[in-house]
Amino acid sequence: MPDVPGALLGALEHVRCPVCGQPLALEERVLRCPAGHAVDVARQGYAHLAVGGRAHPGDTAAMVAARDAFLGAGHYVPIAQAVADALGEGELPPGPVVDVGGGTGWYLAQVLDRLPPALGVRDGLCLDSSSAALRRAARVHPRVAALGVDVWRGLPLADGCASAVLSVFAPRNPAEVARVLGPAGRWVVVTPRPEHLRELVGPLGMLTVDARKDDRLAADLADFERTASTDLAVTVELDHPALRALVGMGPSAHHVPAAELEARLADLPPTVAVTVAVRVSTYALS
């Protein structure tokens, strides 16, 4: 039986029992609270804390494999850099960076390696409901711990434990983010802009970005104040494997059958210049 990762052990001071909210301690490969509620540490090194009935399953193994391939090729490095820049501006309170809906943990790993050491942030917690994503997140970086959660059921973390929270193309639960962020903490939210991947909407049937997304975000985050915002726009050259992965990792995967996607890809040149356009917004509790 492999050892429990050091990052998960280190994270335990911030993790709370999903049933009763008490601290958890490790016994063998089980996390147990004083009331006796217990959660296994998976062989792959993560703990799934979404308990009680059917939790949201999150991304499928095929979507996660596609995401891993696409992100691993570095096409979205500018987004990771913009997130690190947003965190690096000014002081942060102590505590880990918590990536909610963090998927494979790729952004968190990139961000931890890019933060200025003077900021004092060392560790990251990658929270997701997808077991396939958590398997990868548990080994993405020596200082990242992977925890299974369903964001709609709350975050099994101590009040005020986080220095910062990330939401990168991920579901948001503002009340829970407010609870786990310290008063001086920061929430960095990445959302697609209407031009995002626009060259692929017609040819590959990618879904369009809802033009009212900004209004929805503002309404969601009414208890927060936006303290900074950067619009990032870059062009990336994507070959067919990258395009296949990009479609496969997102919601468009459910809308375009595999055979149709291959037929559409065959009509495209060997590489396509694609716009990556996102907004990186920073929020503080108001």
Ligand X SMILES: C[S@@+](CC[C@H](N)C(=O)[O-])C[C@H]1O[C@@H](n2cnc3c(N)ncnc32)[C@H](O)[C@@H]1O
> CB of residue 185 vs ligand X: minimum separation in angstroms?
19
Q: Which is closer to ligand X, CB of 54 or CB of 212?
A: 54
Task: Write b or e for each residue in 82-104: b if 16 or more Cβ atoms lie within 10 A of its Cβ, otherwise e.
Answer: bbbbbbeeeebbebbbbbbbbbb
168 counts as binding ligand X under rule CB under 6 A = yes
180 counts as binding ligand X under rule CB under 6 A = no
Q: Which of 85, 123, 128, 176 binds ligand X (CB under 6 A)?
A: 128
The residue count for binding ligand X (CB under 6 A) is: 22
Q: Which is closer to ligand X, CB of 161 or CB of 253?
A: 253
Residues paired with residue 229 on neighbouring β-strands, in sequence order:
281
Q: Which is closer to ligand X, CB of 2 or CB of 123?
A: 123
Q: Which is closer to ligand X, CB of 9 or CB of 61?
A: 61
> CB of residue 280 vs ligand X: minimum separation in angstroms?
12
Q: Which is closer to ligand X, CB of 149 or CB of 177?
A: 149
141 counts as binding ligand X under rule CB under 6 A = no
Q: Taking CB under 6 A as the rule, which mask of x and - marks residues 42-81 in contact with ligand X?
A: --------------x-xx-------x---x----------
133 counts as binding ligand X under rule CB under 6 A = yes
Residues paired with residue 236 on neighbouring β-strands, in sequence order:
274
Stretch that binds ligand X, among 99-107, 110-118, 211-219, 230-238 (CB under 6 A): 99-107
191 counts as binding ligand X under rule CB under 6 A = no
174 counts as binding ligand X under rule CB under 6 A = no
Stretch that binds ligand X, among 29-37, 40-48, 148-156, 224-232 (CB under 6 A): 148-156
By CB under 6 A, the residues from 221 to 280 that bind ligand X are none
DSSP for the chain, please give it: -PPPPHHHHHHTTTBB-TTT--B-EEETTEEE-TT--EEEBPTTS-EE---SS-----S-HHHHHHHHHHHHTTTTHHHHHHHHHHHHSS---SS-EEEET-TTSHHHHHHHHHS-GGG----EEEEES-HHHHHHHTTS-TTEEEEE--GGG---B-TT-EEEEEEES----HHHHHHHEEEEEEEEEEEE-TTTTGGGHHHH-PPPPPTTHHHHHHHHTTTEEEEEEEEEEEEEEEEHHHHHHHHHTSGGGGTS-HHHHHHHHHTS-SEEEEEEEEEEEEEEE-
Q: Which of 5, 45, 96, 103 binds ligand X (CB under 6 A)?
A: 103
Binding site for ligand X (CB under 6 A): 56, 58-59, 67, 71, 101-103, 106-107, 128-130, 133, 149-152, 168-171
